[in-house]
Amino acid sequence: MPKMTGAYNDNDATDEMAEDTTNSSVEPAPDAHDSDTVNATPGAIENGSAMVNASDASAAGSGSGAISTSGSSTDPSLNAHVKHVRGAGAVSRADSRDSIHRRGTVRSGGGVRGVRQGVIWTIFAIVVVVAMIFVITFAKQQAPKVKPAGKPADTVTIGLKLAPTNLDIRNQSGSSLDQALIGNVYEGLVARSVDNKVVPAIAKSWVRTPDGKSYIFHLNDGMSFSNGDKLDASDVVWSIDELMRNGYQGADTLLNFKSITAVDERTVRLDLTAPYADLLWVLAGRPGLVLDKDGKVDMKTQALGSGPYTVAKYVPNSSLTLKANDRYWAATKPATQTIVLRYFSDDNAAVNALKSGAIQVLAPIDQRLVSPFKKDTDHYVVASGDDTDKYVLAMNCAGEKTSDRRVRQAIRYAINHRELIASRGGADKPLGGPIPSLDPGYEDLNDVYPYNPDKARELMRQAGYTPAHPLELRLTYANIYGTELGDQLRSQLKAVGIDLKVNVVEFSTWLQDVLKNHDYDLSLVDHNESHDFASWANPKYYYNYDNRDVQLLYGQAMVSLNDKDRDDYLRRAARRVSEDAPADWLFNYRITTAMEKGVVGFPLNLNQTLLPLSLVKYTPLV
């Protein structure tokens, strides 16, 4: 599955904003503005007005000269008046003291008295702030939570992280779109189950010819789209023809495609030029989606499918409201009438929403914010599910320094995966190779390069580097993954003689520099796609990994006629890739979901790419 901007299920992916929040809520704040407080105290007023004048002046650049004119025109006359008034002795004592005090401190840059006062103010401010924090923390612990009794709710609101930028499932990449729409609004010829196997959907059964080159799909009876249009073989044929003709998202994964024809109203025949072991799985994703050939909707803002839900309202980057489809053809109707998907870019905001009951489910929840929900077992359920997210530390195989296999191997030996995972909350799994446990061909490859800094140092020495003369490498990754991972890698690699320069960029910059232009030494990204081994068999991909054996093994896997052979070839290819060390797989991310106790039917596995909602039901606790 291709994906897009920030389409990464990173629960740790704090943008800098979120991180700021955590820090300031944990540590009493004044540290940051200590100096501000001290300086500001005596001269606060002058500073204040100076600032205003400055901004006036900058505004004057755009034409508002009058503002500063008025400031300067009043000043001299003011001073004149002050002198005049003093001479006449007509000023009240408080006033003159005030003006002398102000002038004194400002002119002398803060005398002894000013300094002492500054210190007092600082202490005072700190005390106030600390007191506030204490009051809030202690009072919070006693705040009881009372829930009303009730029957199943009509509306369930689900908090998610990455929002789809538009609803155009044919053109816009991104797993958040698959997550929201596939299986809910759109249905495919076949579908994926929560353990990542192919199950029937619009086709109730299928057979493959013995040569593996043709598939016959038998469709369900009496199907219709949510606008009432009939769904039959002609829609299936039209959808896949359009996909191939226009090269929509995923068209390139439908390999060996020859033709698709309607045998009759309820039977479709798909022909291939050569067997393709992943065909059914590919059809469970975007390429297999069946759209209404007569439907006329703006694909970017609306969605017309045959699934259990329809799109009621879509606010880009904010929320998507789904309503049950009254015309849904299957026997099982959706359990909840309205489901609202809300997107939170700020992790703290998301957690607050769950606490306040604005959402009933939050997936993913930030590992560092999860503990209050874990403790409160009376009201919340927290669970982690398996996923196919691979945090790939790619090492440019064609790079000037990283083309040396010893350097790449040293990096793999030098990384302490257990430590990385522990610091992220411990939910993730170590992953020694390119295939995660939910995908075919998985094998535990963690023993290929176990953590061994001595071996790493030895390899680096052979390559000509020591901690005294370190190798300088640049790590480029997107800011959605937070800065911690880069910092940890830097310190782990420093121990073996690598000086890592961490370059955290915007995701679109990463796409341009690394993915498109292959301009990097090391890169870190979360590849969440399932069945994506093909990228290791593609020498033009940004890994620049070119191994003939791997390409042949993968090719053989894809023409296998049974799953056992396919899995066997993939396993061998994956081991080979891992041994060549074109990348290190930092961990296999596992998604953590927190929900209120009355929620049932919410899938835990894979729920960032595949989120069937028709079973989700929420009964508020008694």
414 binds another protein (CB under 8 A): no
DSSP element (H, E) containing 134: helix 112-142
Nearer to another protein, 71 or 620 (CB): 71
Residues 6+ apart with CB under 8 A from 365: 11, 347, 350, 351, 354, 373, 382, 592, 593, 594
The identity of residue 620, as a single letter, is P
Instruction: Tell me the three state secondary structure of residue 456.
Output: helix
Residues 529-568 that bind another protein (CB under 8 A): 529, 532, 534-535, 540
> Among residues 261, 273, 318, 491, which is the contact residue for another protein, using CB under 8 A?
318
Nearer to another protein, 209 or 273 (CB): 273
Least distance between another protein and beta carbon 493 (Å): 25
Residues 111-130 that bind another protein (CB under 8 A): 121, 124-125, 128-129
355 binds another protein (CB under 8 A): yes
Nearer to another protein, 371 or 562 (CB): 371
Helix/strand/coil (H, E, C) string of 344-385? CCCHHHHHHHHHCCCCCEECCCCHHHCHHHHHCCCCEEEEEE
Give the C-alpha separation, 366 to 159, whole Å.
Answer: 12
Nearer to another protein, 220 or 310 (CB): 310
9 binds another protein (CB under 8 A): no
> Among residues 87, 89, 112, 139, which is the contact residue for another protein, using CB under 8 A?
139
Nearer to another protein, 73 or 332 (CB): 73
Least distance between another protein and beta carbon 43 (Å): 11
Residues 508-527 that bind another protein (CB under 8 A): 508-509, 511-513, 515-516, 525, 527
Residues 6+ apart with CB under 8 A from 387: 9, 436, 438, 528, 588, 589, 590, 591, 605, 606, 608
> Among residues 261, 317, 491, 562, which is the contact residue for another protein, using CB under 8 A?
317
Give the C-alpha separation, 284 to 194, whole Å.
Answer: 12
> Among residues 94, 149, 207, 622, which is the contact residue for another protein, using CB under 8 A?
94
Least distance between another protein and beta carbon 367 (Å): 20
Give the C-alpha separation, 576 to 618, whole Å.
Answer: 47
Residues 257-316 that bind another protein (CB under 8 A): 298, 300-301, 313, 315-316
Least distance between another protein and beta carbon 456 (Å): 29
- Tokens 């759109």 found at: 186
Nearer to another protein, 178 or 232 (CB): 178
Give the C-alpha separation, 435 to 500, whole Å.
Answer: 27
The identity of residue 336, as a single letter, is T
The residue range among 79-87, 283-291, 325-333, 432-440 that interacts with another protein, by the rule CB under 8 A, is 79-87
Nearer to another protein, 253 or 492 (CB): 253
503 binds another protein (CB under 8 A): no
Q: If you ran DSSP here, which 8-state letter would residue 614 be given?
A: T
Q: What number of residues does the chain have?
A: 622
13 binds another protein (CB under 8 A): no
Give the C-alpha separation, 283 to 186, whole Å.
Answer: 13
331 binds another protein (CB under 8 A): no
Give the C-alpha separation, 396 to 517, whole Å.
Answer: 12
Nearer to another protein, 69 or 377 (CB): 69
Instruction: Tell me the three state secondary structure of residue 247.
Output: coil
Residue 359 Cα distances to 191, 373, 375, 396, 576, angstroms = 28, 14, 19, 42, 45
Least distance between another protein and beta carbon 415 (Å): 23
Nearer to another protein, 237 or 320 (CB): 320
45 binds another protein (CB under 8 A): yes
3 binds another protein (CB under 8 A): yes
> Among residues 16, 17, 123, 265, which is the contact residue for another protein, using CB under 8 A?
17
- Determine how β-strand 267-272 pairs with β-strand 214-219: antiparallel
**How many residues bind to another protein according to rule CB under 8 A?**
113
Least distance between another protein and beta carbon 184 (Å): 18
Other C-beta atoms closer than 10 Å to the C-beta of 549 total: 12
81 binds another protein (CB under 8 A): yes
- Is the bond leading into 76 cis (omega within 30 degrees of zero)? no
The residue range among 134-142, 185-193, 221-229, 544-552 that interacts with another protein, by the rule CB under 8 A, is 134-142
Give the C-alpha separation, 298 to 403, whole Å.
Answer: 47
Least distance between another protein and beta carbon 384 (Å): 24
The residue range among 48-56, 206-214, 288-296, 414-422 that interacts with another protein, by the rule CB under 8 A, is 48-56
- Determine how β-strand 617-618 pairs with β-strand 203-208: unpaired
Instruction: Tell me the three state secondary structure of residue 400.
Output: coil
Least distance between another protein and beta carbon 298 (Å): 6
Residues 150-209 that bind another protein (CB under 8 A): 165-166, 168, 171-174
Nearer to another protein, 244 or 534 (CB): 534
Give the C-alpha separation, 156 to 354, whole Å.
Answer: 12
Least distance between another protein and beta carbon 81 (Å): 5
Contact between residue 429 and residue 479 where contact means Cβ atoms under 8 Å apart: no
> Among residues 119, 131, 132, 199, which is the contact residue for another protein, using CB under 8 A?
132
Residues 235-254 that bind another protein (CB under 8 A): 247, 249, 252-253
